[in-house]
Structure 1
Amino acid sequence: MTRVVSKYFNRAADILNLDPNYRLILGLPSRELAVNLPVQLDSGEIHIFPGYRVQHHVAMGPMQGGLRYRPDLTLDDLRALALWATLTAAVADVPFGGSMGGIVCDPSTMSSQELERLTRRYVVEILDIIGTERDILSPDFSTDQQVMAWIMDTYSMHARQTVTAIVTGKPLELGGSHGSHESIGYGVWCLLDAALKHLGRQPTQTSVAIQGAGRRGGSAAVLLHEAGYNVIAITDSGGGVYRPDGLNIPDVLDYFTRTGSLAGYKEADALTDAELLSLDCDVLVPAYLQNQITADNVKNLRCRILCEAAYGASTSEASEVLDNSDIYVIPAIMGESGGIIVRYFEWVQNRIGFRWRRHIVLERLRDRVVAMYRNVVKVGEEHSVSLREASYILGVQHMGRDLSLRGIYA
C-alpha cells in the first residue's frame, strides 16, 4: 500500500512544484508508537499482542483515524493508511489530520472478554498520545461500536469524567451520531449520483456489483437498491451471489445477518470474488480490503465505473493500468470520504453537547461529498489528469497550504 500512496503523493507534489522541505515533512508520519500488550486469555495464559498507532499530520487539526484488528497487520500498512486518512480529510475539507492504529491479532479466535481486555490495555498504553484535541479513534476492520464504547470508557475512567469525543462511530446511546454506520455507503451513493449526472447516465439504467457486505459494501448496496440502481452481485469473505436482473438486497442482507455468510443463499447464483471482479457491469465497488485489484486481474475488469470504497483496493501496478484505461475511476480518497465527514460531524456534536437529527447529518454529508466531487473534477480538468491524480493534487495542495500558513516550529 505504501508504494501506491507514495507514488501518487510524489506525482502530485511534482505537479504542484511543492517546496522540497514540505514534501519531506508531509510524506512522513509525525509520530509512530509501538507497544506490546500483555493480555490474560480466558485459559489463564498470558499472551503478548503487538500494537501500533501512527499519527501522520497535525497542521490541519487534531488527528483522526481507525483502529483495526488483523493477524496480518503491518506497521507499513498503517503508515500508508494514516497518509490516506490525511489526504481524504484534506480533499473533503475536514479539519482533521490522519492517523491509524491496529493490533496484531485474530479476533475470530478470541472471546468478547478477551477482546475487551485487549482493547482496554491498548488504550492505556497509548493514553499519552490520544485525546479529543490530539487524536480521535474510530472503527475499522474487525472493530465496531462496542470496541469504541470500551475505548471511550477506559479513557474516561483515566480522565475522571465522561469524554465522548475521544472516539467516533460509537453507539448512539453513548453520544454516537445518526448516519455513522452507513456513512461510507452513503458517501458512495452520493458520489455515484454526482458521477452519473456528470457523465449523462441514469441510476435506474445502471448495474452495480459490490465486493463486501459489511458496513461499507452492505450499506452501499441498500442505499443504491433503494435509489433504483440495479445491484446484480455482492460478495463477502465466504462467497457471494449474482442475479443479472437484480438482487433483492434487503433479503440478501437479512440472510447475511442471520447466517454470517452469503454462502447457501438460494434465490441467486453463487459467485466468487474473482468472478465478481470480472462481471460485465456499469459500476464495480470494491468495499472490502486492500490489494483486490491487481496486475493479474485488472485487465479482466468489465465495468465502466470503478468506485473504490477501501483504501488500497487497487495495487500500484493496477492503478497504473487503470489510469490508462477507459474505466472511470473514483479513487478511495473520495470513496472513503463519507466516513471521515460523519466522524467529524460526530466529534462536533460531542463537543457542543447536541445531537443533530438523521436527515440533517445526511443532508450535510451529501452537500460535502458533492462539493468535493466537483472540486476534484475541476482540478482534473485544469491539469488534464484522472480523478485519482486530481484527488492527490487537491489533498497535497491543502496540506501544503496549511503547513505553509502555520510554519515550521524549530
Structure 2
Amino acid sequence: MSKIKGSTEQNDVLFTTKEEFTIAFNKLGYTEKEYLQFMEPTRLVKVTLPLKLDDGSTRLYTAYRVQHHLYKGPTMGGVICHPTYNESDVESLAMIMSIKTGVANIPFGGAKGLISCDPRELSYREMERLSRLYIRRMYETIGTSKDILTSEGQANTQMMSWMYDELSYFDKESAGAITGKPLEIGGTYGREKAAAISIITTLNETLNYNKRELNETRVIIQGFGKVGSFLAQYVHQQGATVIGVSDSYGALYDEDGLDIDYLLDRRDSFGTVTKLFKNTLKIEELQGKQCDLLLLATEQQQVTPIQIENLAASIVIEVTNHSLSLTDMPSINQNELFIVPHVLASIGTDIISYLEWLQYKQGLRWSEAEVEQQLKQRMTQSYQDIYELAIRRKVNLRLASFMYSLRSIVEASRFRGCH
C-alpha cells in the first residue's frame, strides 16, 4: 500500500496537525480515502459578533465553531478568547480535540470555538454581552446531543453560565450542552482539581513505568505560569529537587536546587520571575542542562528540532499543547527520550466535562470523591492503553495516542457506513 501524502499547506499549526494525522494513518495502513475525510472538519461556522461597548460604540468581532467529526457521537470542545488566533488555529485545535477524546475513551468527536478578542480589553458587562452574542449566532449547532461547549482559559464558570442562560432561551434542555458551569446551576464537583489530578496522575504513572521515585528526581520546569508554578510547588513538596525554571524572558538554574517557595512568592500574575535576577540563562541553555525530568508547561511551541537535539533530560512531560509534534520525532527518537504528549497528559479537564454531561443525562449528582475516583481511574486506564500500544507497535507515546484515537474514529465511521 502506498503511503499517504501529507498536506501541502503553508507551514502553520494546522499544517503540523495534518502532518501528524498523516504519520499516524501511514503507520495504521489506512487508505487515502479513509485519510482524506478527516483532514477537513465536518462543520466550520464563522460569524461576526457586533458588540455594543460600554461607551455606546460598536465593535465587530469574528467568532468560529469547528466540529471535526460526528462519527462517535456529538462533538465536544472549549471556547477560546484570544486576539491573535485564527481559523487555522481553531481548526487544528478541533482536530487535536478528536485525538484527546479518543485517548480518554469519551464517545465524542472533537470541536473548538474561538472568539477573536482580548478579554483584558473588555469590561465585565462587555464580556457578558459578547458571550451571549456568541450563543445567539451559534445556537443552532449547539445541543446536548449535537455539540457540547466546555470551559477553557478565559471561558471560566461565569462565562459558561452566561452562555448556558442564553442557550436556555432557544433550547430548554440546554443544561447538558454547556459544561464548566457552577454547581448551583448543574455543574459538577471536581472541576477545580481536574487539571491538577490529570497532571499528577500522569506524572506518577510516568515515574512508575520508568522505575523512578519523585523524591529522588531532579526536575526542570519550562514555564512558570499557573500550570508551571503549580507543578513546581507540587514536586518540591514531594521531595524532588527543582534545579531549573524558565519564563518568557529567560531561565534560572541551580544544580543544588532552587528556592521554590521564594520564587512562588515573588512571581507576578503573568508567571514572570526571572526579571528579579541578574544571572539568568537563555531558555535554550536551560534545556541543555542534565536532569531526570523536564516538564514543558509553556503555552507556545518553544522546543524546536534543533533544541530537541540538545535536550539532556531522561523524561519529558508535555503539559501544554504544541510544545512538540510528531514531525519532531526523528530528533526525539535519536535521543531516546521518554516523552509523554499533551494529548495524554492533559485529558483530565476533558474527562471532567464528559462526567458533567453524563450526570446531566442520568439525572445524578455524584459526590466529589466519586468524581475524583472516576477521573483517576479513567486517566490511569488511558495511560495504560496508550503505553501498551506504544510497546506493542514499537512507537513513541505521541504516535501511539494518535494511532489509538484515529483507529477508533475510522472503525466507528466504517460501522456507520460512512465510506
TM-score normalised over the length of structure 1: 0.88
Q: Which moved more, 1:237-246 or 1:119-128?
A: 237-246
Structure-2 separation of matches of 1:310 and 1:380: 21
Q: 1:26 aligns with which of 17, 38, 50?
A: 38
Change in CA separation of 1:337 and 1:18 when aligned onto 2, cut-off 3 Å: same
Q: Deviations over 1:313-333 (max 9, x none)?
A: 225654442233222111111
The alignment covers a number of residue pairs equal to 405
Structure 2 match to 1:193: 204
Structure 1 unmatched runs, 5+: none
Q: Which moved more, 1:68-77 or 1:104-113?
A: 104-113
1:294 aligns with 2:301: no
Q: 1:260 aligns with which of 250, 263, 269?
A: 269
Q: 1:185·1:217 contact (CA, 8 Å) conserved in 2?
A: no
Shift of 1:308: 1.1
Shift of 1:100: 0.6
Structure 1 match to 2:350: 340
Structure-2 separation of matches of 1:360 and 1:260: 33
Change in CA separation of 1:237 and 1:106 when aligned onto 2, cut-off 3 Å: farther
Q: 1:38·1:46 contact (CA, 8 Å) conserved in 2?
A: yes
Report the 3-state secondary structure (helix = DSSP H, G, I; strand = E; otherwise coil) of the residue aligned with 2:321: coil
Structure 2 match to 1:156: 168
Give the partner amino acid of 1:314: L
Shift of 1:293: 1.4
1:245 aligns with 2:238: no
1:45 aligns with 2:57: yes
Shift of 1:36: 0.7
Q: Which moved more, 1:52-61 or 1:378-387?
A: 378-387
Structure-2 separation of matches of 1:105 and 1:406: 39
Structure 2 match to 1:406: 416
Structure-2 separation of matches of 1:216 and 1:353: 33
Give the partner amino acid of 1:163: S
Structure-1 separation of matches of 2:245 and 2:90: 27
Give the partner amino acid of 1:102: L
Q: Deviations over 1:201-234 (max 9, x none)?
A: 1111123333445554455445444544444555
Q: Deviations over 1:166-222 (max 9, x none)?
A: 222222333222221332332121112112111111111123333445554455445
Change in CA separation of 1:316 and 1:404 when aligned onto 2, cut-off 3 Å: closer
Q: 2:249·2:275 contact (CA, 8 Å) conserved in 1?
A: no
Percent of aligned pairs with the same amino acid = 30
| Equivalent residues in 2 for 1:247-396, closer than 5 Å | 247-248=259-260, 259-263=268-272, 274=283, 277-314=287-324, 318-396=328-406
Report the 3-state secondary structure (helix = DSSP H, G, I; strand = E; otherwise coil) of the residue aligned with 2:335: coil
Q: 1:139·1:145 contact (CA, 8 Å) conserved in 2?
A: yes
Structure-2 separation of matches of 1:269 and 1:341: 43
Structure-1 separation of matches of 2:347 and 2:306: 28
Structure-1 separation of matches of 2:280 and 2:190: 30
Structural RMSD (CA) = 2.8
Structure-2 separation of matches of 1:109 and 1:211: 28
Q: Deviations over 1:336-389 (max 9, x none)?
A: 211211111111122223222222222222222222122112211222111111
Structure-1 separation of matches of 2:265 and 2:180: 22
Shift of 1:287: 2.7
Change in CA separation of 1:264 and 1:94 when aligned onto 2, cut-off 3 Å: closer
Q: Which moved more, 1:22-31 or 1:129-138?
A: 22-31
| Equivalent residues in 2 for 1:133-172, closer than 5 Å | 133-159=145-171, 161=172, 163-172=174-183
Q: 1:66 aligns with which of 71, 78, 82?
A: 78
Q: 1:190·1:370 contact (CA, 8 Å) conserved in 2?
A: yes
Give the partner amino acid of 2:394: S
1:180 aligns with 2:191: yes
Q: Which moved more, 1:396-405 or 1:212-221?
A: 212-221
Structure-2 separation of matches of 1:91 and 1:37: 34
Give the partner amino acid of 2:269: G
Q: 2:96·2:343 contact (CA, 8 Å) conserved in 1?
A: yes
Structure-1 separation of matches of 2:309 and 2:46: 39
| Equivalent residues in 2 for 1:115-134, closer than 5 Å | 115-134=127-146
Q: Deviations over 1:61-112 (max 9, x none)?
A: 2111011111111111111111111111112211111001101111222222
Change in CA separation of 1:129 and 1:236 when aligned onto 2, cut-off 3 Å: farther
Shift of 1:272: 7.4
Change in CA separation of 1:242 and 1:40 when aligned onto 2, cut-off 3 Å: farther
Give the partner amino acid of 1:168: T
Q: 1:12 aligns with which of 6, 24, 31?
A: 24
Q: 2:99 aligns with which of 76, 87, 101?
A: 87
TM-score normalised over the length of structure 2: 0.87
Structure-1 separation of matches of 2:233 and 2:176: 29
Report the 3-state secondary structure (helix = DSSP H, G, I; strand = E; otherwise coil) of the residue aligned with 1:76: helix
Q: 2:302·2:323 contact (CA, 8 Å) conserved in 1?
A: yes
